[in-house]
Structure 1
Amino acid sequence: MALSENPVIQKESSGRLKKSPLRNLLVTVAAILLVSFIVIMINQAAQLVDLAMQIHPTFGKVLFGFFILLALATAVWTILLIVGLEKPLPIPDETDTEAYTLFLSQLKKRLKGNPYLKQKGFVWSDEKPDIEAIPEAIAVLDEEGRQIIR
């Protein structure tokens, strides 16, 4: 079975993964909620700094500095997390055997490090070619995902 025939990996004719309208809606709603949360947090921090300024001006300035440092640390941490993510593997055309073999070996390398596969005791067989072993590993991950969702 070719990897592109696997129901877990679905591609458009252009080779990109499909995007559903539901996913777009959820991303939009999540973005709106995130922006709303950030606005509320900034408002609360400003009110707290104002209250601290009324108690003592130095206390208000220190608290303002703390909130600025907290915001910067959160932004830097988020950027570092995003930069540290592995780039998605582009799925090559199956007719380009060299690129497809490289893709399969890179995918196998990533899957070997998957903690869920290790937890389930999935063993990579050297006797099976990658084209057969990878869909089995993806099926194990798919089943694990279904168990987690339940």
Structure 2
Amino acid sequence: MPADKFVRGMYAAGGAPYFDAMGVNAPGYFNPPEKSPDETEKDPQLKARWVTFRHVEDIRKIMIENGDADKQIAILEMGWTTDQVNPTYSWYAVTEEQQAEYLVRAYQWAKQNWQPWIGLMSSIYIAEYSWSEKDEQYWYAITRPSFPEPDLRPAYHALKNMPK
């Protein structure tokens, strides 16, 4: 179920008093973090708002419509996959360099445009050593599975070095 439909249903069912912050996932698919849901909705190949990091803004509008402007959004999972192998995910994969750049730009976008209503933003994942290329999360991770020495992807370094 698309996130916006779920959130509308939650409000319709009277869920507003039962949470302090709205948790959302914000994968960017292959779109840069600045690309608006309006743009992806107009794209004849995509025709959807949810295929962009900024679909979070749609959730925010629903919160405001329902009197929850004072509550923050927590982005529980955000990222871009680098999976060029598995057909289920490869259609929206980016390069490791793009992943690094997009993650940094996503944090910058949020800082510049979503204050004060954005709270926690969590990039996914630090790889578990048992993950392999068969696992979806392997490709979103900012590290590669390794033990005992870390194997850091460009996204790890970019996030570590970005201005905070």
TM-score, normalised relative to structure 2: 0.19
Q: Is the strand fraction higher in 1 or 2?
A: 2
Q: Which has the larger radius of gyration?
A: 1
